[in-house]
A = this chain, B = another copy of it.
Amino acid sequence: MNSEEIAKLANVSRSTVSRVVNNYKNVPEETRVKVQKVIDQYEYTPNSSARTLAGKANNIIGLFIADIDNTGSSNQWLGANSPYNAELIAKVIQSCKRKGYMVLVNTISEKEELKKMEAFFNNRMLFGGIFIGFPYGMKEIESIAEQNYNIVFIDQFDEDSKQYNMVKTVNCHNLNGGYSAVKYLIELGHTKIAHVTGDNRLSSIEREEGYKKALKEMKIPVDSSLIINGEYREEIAYKKTKKLISDYKPTAIFSANDIMALGIIKAINEMGMSVPEDISVIGYDHLKYSEWMQLDLTTLEVSLDELSEKAVKLLFNKKSNSREICQPVLVKKYSTTKLKK
């Protein structure tokens, strides 16, 4: 069933069918009803390839997730496999569906793949795209950002970025998150606070800035030996934390995400100590799956519902440099406690 057949059955031209399908106003109610009736009866759906080719944007939104392992070792938690991304994928699908759009999920593991993606935007294959998880300052991402495609970047560009004023962004204010995590630990009496950082993404960089800001504000000197790089990965955090603890004996640890917090807690337990009695731990993300853990983790929550809703909303915003911010909320649970005097 195509528009020509519908046109014949409704006794109008294909142009008119098209006008009805696209809800153009210059068609009288009577005609509209007549045509719509035939459309409904035959369950006609316009061929999306033809529409796209003729100039309409497809009702597909691309979700592009970095799947780049910069540590060299294999990582089962990357890309779509990461629990954070898995939750986000589900939320983005929901948000898009509410708008009548579908989601094409792409994991990007090689830079060349980004080149191919550009064709999708040029071809109108995609109405828009959402990019997440790419390294801060990644050249290929910056060059895409300069193309004026309809793309929302999540936690990718900050005020220091040359492209900041030409792109749509949702930023999660990770600086605030890191800051309030560490501030809370300080309020609990801790001063020897370690930080296990993420990787080369903006979120990690900002969380670390927040950590430093809180310390400075409270006149606690920043000790770089208390900052270790966990690459956002459980097993790396696990290993390095053991060394960190035996070398420097922190009383609290701020982990740049929940997954590493699991590794950190495991390390603490294996060293014969417990959380929070001996060491307080704060995570980041408030992963839904962490509900399953015996130990309820104090963590920073960014609502992924809010994040995905805002990202999708921006896609429909005409302004090419519109932006949204999500604020993290400190969720106080049982992995943190007052420093024993």
B-chain residues with CB within 8 Å of residue A102 when the two chains form the complex? 104-106
B60 engages A104 (CB within 8 Å) = yes
In whole angstroms, what is the CA distance A45 to B86 when docked? Answer: 30
Q: Does A89 contact B (CB under 8 A)?
A: yes
B-chain residues with CB within 8 Å of residue A24 when the two chains form the complex? none
B107 engages A93 (CB within 8 Å) = yes
Q: Does A250 contact B (CB under 8 A)?
A: no
In whole angstroms, what is the CA distance A60 to B106 when docked? Answer: 11
B-chain residues with CB within 8 Å of residue A107 when the two chains form the complex? 93-94, 97
Proximity bits, A130-150, B CB within 8 Å = 1, else 0: 000000000000000000000
Q: Does A25 contact B (CB under 8 A)?
A: no
Q: Does A83 contact B (CB under 8 A)?
A: yes
Copies in the complex: 2
A292 engages B53 (CB within 8 Å) = no
Chain A, 28-83, CB within 8 A of any chain B CB: 43, 45, 47-50, 52-53, 58, 60, 76, 79-81, 83
Contact segment of A118-126, A165-173, A239-247 = A118-126
In whole angstroms, what is the CA distance A105 to B119 when docked? Answer: 21
B-chain residues with CB within 8 Å of residue A76 when the two chains form the complex? 288
Chain A, 286-313, CB within 8 A of any chain B CB: 288-290, 292-295
B-chain residues with CB within 8 Å of residue A49 when the two chains form the complex? 48-50, 52-53, 58, 123-125
B-chain residues with CB within 8 Å of residue A90 when the two chains form the complex? 79-81, 86
B-chain residues with CB within 8 Å of residue A295 when the two chains form the complex? 294
Using known A-B contacts A80-B94, A89-B89, determine if residue A47 contacts B104 with beta carbons closer than 8 Å.
no
In whole angstroms, what is the CA distance A172 to B47 when docked? Answer: 36
In whole angstroms, what is the CA distance A115 to B47 when docked? Answer: 14
In whole angstroms, what is the CA distance A76 to B119 when docked? Answer: 36
Q: Does A103 contact B (CB under 8 A)?
A: yes
B106 engages A104 (CB within 8 Å) = no
B-chain residues with CB within 8 Å of residue A123 when the two chains form the complex? 45, 47-49
- Return 11 A-B CB contacts under 8 Å, by A number: A48-B120, A49-B53, A49-B124, A53-B53, A80-B94, A81-B87, A93-B106, A103-B105, A104-B104, A105-B105, A293-B294
